[in-house]
Structure 1
Amino acid sequence: MKILIVDDVESIRKLLLHILKEEGYKRLFSAQSAEEAFEILKAEEIDLILMDIMMPDLNGIEVCRIIKNDLGLTDIKVIMVTGKTDTDYLKEAFEAGAMDYIEKPINKVELLARVNSVVELIKKEQELQQTVELLEEANKELERMVSIDGLTQIANRKFFDNTLKKEWGQARRRKSKLALLMLDIDNFKDYNDTYGHQGGDECLKELAKLFERLLFRSGDLVARYGGEEFAIILPETDLKGAKEVANRVREGVEGLQLEHKASKVSDYVTVSVGVAVAEPKSKDGEKDLIEAADRALYKAKDAGRNKVKVASEIIS
């Protein structure tokens, strides 16, 4: 706990320092003017200020107001030390941000009671803040777990659905294009039959990592759509850009050279890719975009797999 004593009278400062040191407080600072106090506040994270109201340069109420408003140090607790206890004066001090006051001449028992009470409050606030931060971290982790596919560690179907809906709405407002790629691993059932389900899982994980590496923009999203099928959302992307990404992905998978003895297409794992582009105008047209990309994907399969095919229509 860091405590700052602000008083222009040296004997008062020494008395307060002595009492607080005897009580066990060690991180104590003192200032004889508002200017000195401001310098200390710039250098140290003070928790509590014992502030004399009557000072020659700026009175304690004005200093408190500057600390709270101009310096923005709203969390610092301020106890006024004063010989003036009329109601209007104290009201002004509390309005400036003070939370309590101690009368002069200083009474040791009263001083320690009020300081210890404020210190306990600060500790409880700090504990509460730590608890809030832990809960926030836990909530973030929970959100991450809910949105991530357990096997591949990329976005899952639910997160994909929510993201596509959000991107559709944004593209509609911006009057921009939105592209979607649907990818399917060729002859994946045969891959599982040949290398076992563990081998199939490893294949899915390798491809998921590759897809993430091949997306160069932070706004692009790859998700596991289901089984051996993946989806890639490309905001603000026209047909030319979507085809470039699709071909980069297809060639990237082929370039991995993951053995696939049972493939009817290649000696290695390959993917078929369907591309669809939308210029969103309708409110809920993202389902039409998925269906168009899916139809293009089946065209790629019918054409012999390991190919990229594009939907014939622009979805709106």
Structure 2
Amino acid sequence: MSNRESILEILSKAKAASSVSPDRAIEMSNEAYQMSRDGGFKREEGFSLLGAAYGYRVKSDVGNLLDMSLAARQIFEELDDHEGLMRALNLAGVAYFYSSLYEEAMRNFLKALDYSKVVNDPFLESSVLNNIAEVYRETLSYNKAIEFYKRAEGLSRENGLDINRAVILGNIGEIYLKESKPEEALKCFESGKMILKDMNDPISLAEIESRIGQVYQAMGGRAEAEEQYKKSLAMLETLENKYYSIDILTNLASLYAETDLDEAMELLAIAISYAEEIDAKKKISSVYRQIASINEDYGNYSVALDYFKLYCSYSEKQSNLALGNRLEILNIELKHTTDFEQLNQLKDRFEHEIKLQKLEIERMNEMNRSLEKKISEDELTGILNRRAINKKLHEIAEAARDEKFFLTVYMLDIDNFKMYNDHWGHSDGDKCLISITKAISSIAWSRNDIFGRYGGEEFVYIARTKDYDTALGLGEEIREEVEKLGLYYGNGSDKTPTTISIGGVVGSGEELSSVPRLLQMADDQLYISKRSGKNRVRLISLD
């Protein structure tokens, strides 16, 4: 056997090993590369670089994938080898695609497609067409994506490339699903399923079963969707494939979240454990985002915020990693070019990527702020809620102890609010709460005080005060401001004004050591104020 034949045999074995043992494939390709250089076999040298690139593709090592592809392209350009160029350009396009550099990816894929006119390789051509469609899909150009997917699917059908065809049908179905065309999506998925049933590819079959479940879920068929998801999950668990199982678990969780929060959270907890086992950081981030979203829908804003912060943390790490990958790609491109104009373009593109990352971080921060606001804000009135009031009171009481200033805690309650609701109805009752809130908030804003809704028709107002008399005066000001609103219930001689009763406690220094005691004492004074005839202020001093 000649050296050239030995090299080709090694490369054939490397290609067969690349999908199951990429490190071994890279090792064999490097061996073939060295033999090619020693023997002066330039074409084999290029294909050895491509062999290593295929291994790096499986490993998602984008930097080495691009480096090997560009090095191979240079060799094939010197040789004017069209097949080699088509393969090298396709792999370079994949590297750019993985880095979300879609313009560069498309440029390489289209160049590769040009060579299909002279390279008779239907499998490679259909792969390039599929990759072009993927770029269009990622950039939301769905009509163009379907156009190229269908070209790839037709080519695969004509040449008996069944696995290729099933994958492409699945991709087309995904777009129809995104476009809210479930019937068209289902046809594509069922066609792909029929092909895969005759093939030995259980992972692809499980994936398409899950997609069919998504269609049923979109069409409101909960039972059918659940059946598909469970069937898909059972296949993957038999194969002990945790990577794809995570997707099925999140699909099931989204289904259960409509009616059973606990069941959904249990499934997502399993998904996180799987993702942590295989160190799938991107999937961990996605699951955290889903948990945050579901809990936000249920009004569990505190839980939602905790998980959203975890999502942000993982996303920021992923963004930094992606930026690092793009910097690595930039350095690799610099290594393979001497074109000054192209160097400037690369520099501009990298600066643009940094700008986009900053915008994404700001977007996440804004969502974070929005959730924090929901956690601390009363949904109806927009003022602080009970949780936030308790937190603020602990903080200001501690400051008052340290700085020894007077602090007054008022408990406010709308008098006979049930009668107001019964007379006018709950909708007007809500308007009453909002009107009173606005009136008292205007005082709080002018003084930089703290005001919030403690629950129902009860409120808490916290203020720095000079002494007892000042605190009493402020209490009267609040009471009078509500009285001025002229709210009432009843008719004729039974017409009764809507007022508030106030109870409070005034103190300073160590007297403020127990926040629960402060609230209880203020509440006790409120009770006395109510018993004494309502629409009045009653305070007690801790001195």
The CA deviation string for residues 139-189 of structure 1, in whole angstroms up to 9 with x for no partner, is: 112111211111111111111011001111111221212111110011111
Deviation, 1:209, is 0.6
User: Does the 8 A contact of 1:274 with 1:293 survive in 2?
Assistant: yes
1:235 maps to 464
2:97 maps to none
**Greater Cα shift, 253-262 or 161-170:** 253-262
2:502 maps to 273
Deviation, 1:278, is 2.2
Cα pair distance change 1:307/1:218, threshold 3 Å:
closer
1:80 maps to none
User: Does the 8 A contact of 2:468 with 2:541 survive in 1?
Assistant: no
**Greater Cα shift, 231-240 or 241-250:** 231-240
The CA deviation string for residues 40-59 of structure 1, in whole angstroms up to 9 with x for no partner, is: xxxxxxxxxxxxxxxxxxxx
The CA deviation string for residues 107-141 of structure 1, in whole angstroms up to 9 with x for no partner, is: x9442343222212111100001111111111112
Q: Map of 1:231-270 to 2, 5 A cutoff?
A: 231-235=460-464, 237-261=466-490, 267-270=496-499
Deviation, 1:265, is 11
The CA deviation string for residues 228-284 of structure 1, in whole angstroms up to 9 with x for no partner, is: 10110113553222212210111111111112228x997210100012112142785
User: Does the 8 A contact of 1:265 with 1:305 survive in 2?
Assistant: no
User: Does the 8 A contact of 1:180 with 1:289 survive in 2?
Assistant: yes
Correspondent of 2:440 among 211, 233, 239: 211
Specify the SS of the correspondent of 2:371.
helix
Specify the SS of the correspondent of 1:256.
coil
1:185 maps to 414
2:385 maps to 156
Supply the distance in 2 between the matched residues of 1:284 and 1:137 (Cα, whole angstroms). 36
Cα pair distance change 1:218/1:144, threshold 3 Å:
farther
Specify the SS of the correspondent of 1:311.
strand
Q: Which amino acid aligns with 1:149?
A: D
1:172 maps to 401
Flag structure 2 segments of 5+ consecutive residues without an equivalent: 1-330, 332-336
1:200 maps to 429
Cα pair distance change 1:282/1:112, threshold 3 Å:
farther
User: Does the 8 A contact of 1:151 with 1:205 survive in 2?
Assistant: yes
Supply the distance in 2 between the matched residues of 1:165 and 1:157 (Cα, whole angstroms). 12
Matched, 1:303 2:532: yes
1:287 maps to 516
Specify the SS of the correspondent of 1:232.
strand
Specify the SS of the correspondent of 1:281.
helix
Supply the distance in 2 between the matched residues of 1:283 and 1:132 (Cα, whole angstroms). 41
Supply the distance in 2 between the matched residues of 1:168 and 1:266 (Cα, whole angstroms). 41
User: Does the 8 A contact of 2:420 with 2:488 survive in 1?
Assistant: no
Q: Which amino acid aligns with 2:469?
A: K
Cα pair distance change 1:205/1:186, threshold 3 Å:
same
1:226 maps to 455
User: Does the 8 A contact of 1:270 with 1:306 survive in 2?
Assistant: yes
Cα pair distance change 1:121/1:232, threshold 3 Å:
same
User: Does the 8 A contact of 1:179 with 1:238 survive in 2?
Assistant: no
Specify the SS of the correspondent of 1:276.
strand
Q: Which amino acid aligns with 2:504?
A: V
User: Does the 8 A contact of 1:265 with 1:306 survive in 2?
Assistant: no
Deviation, 1:215, is 2.2
Q: Which amino acid aligns with 2:362?
A: E
Q: How many equivalent residue pairs?
A: 208
Specify the SS of the correspondent of 1:149.
coil
User: Does the 8 A contact of 1:253 with 1:271 survive in 2?
Assistant: yes
Q: Map of 1:104-143 to 2, 5 A cutoff?
A: 109-143=338-372
**TM-score normalized with structure 2 length:** 0.36
User: Does the 8 A contact of 1:181 with 1:274 survive in 2?
Assistant: yes
**TM-score normalized with structure 1 length:** 0.61
Supply the distance in 2 between the matched residues of 1:266 and 1:297 (Cα, whole angstroms). 24
Q: Map of 1:34-73 to 2, 5 A cutoff?
A: none
Flag structure 1 segments of 5+ consecutive residues without an equivalent: 1-99, 101-107
Cα pair distance change 1:298/1:122, threshold 3 Å:
same
After TM superposition, the runs of 4+ consecutive aligned structure 1 residues lying more than 4 A away are none
User: Does the 8 A contact of 2:529 with 2:537 survive in 1?
Assistant: yes
Supply the distance in 1 between the matched residues of 2:383 and 2:453 (Cα, whole angstroms). 7
User: Does the 8 A contact of 1:179 with 1:237 survive in 2?
Assistant: no
User: Does the 8 A contact of 1:295 with 1:311 survive in 2?
Assistant: no
Q: Which amino acid aligns with 1:276?
A: V
User: Does the 8 A contact of 2:433 with 2:457 survive in 1?
Assistant: yes
Cα pair distance change 1:220/1:265, threshold 3 Å:
farther
Structure with the higher fraction of residues in strand conformation? 1
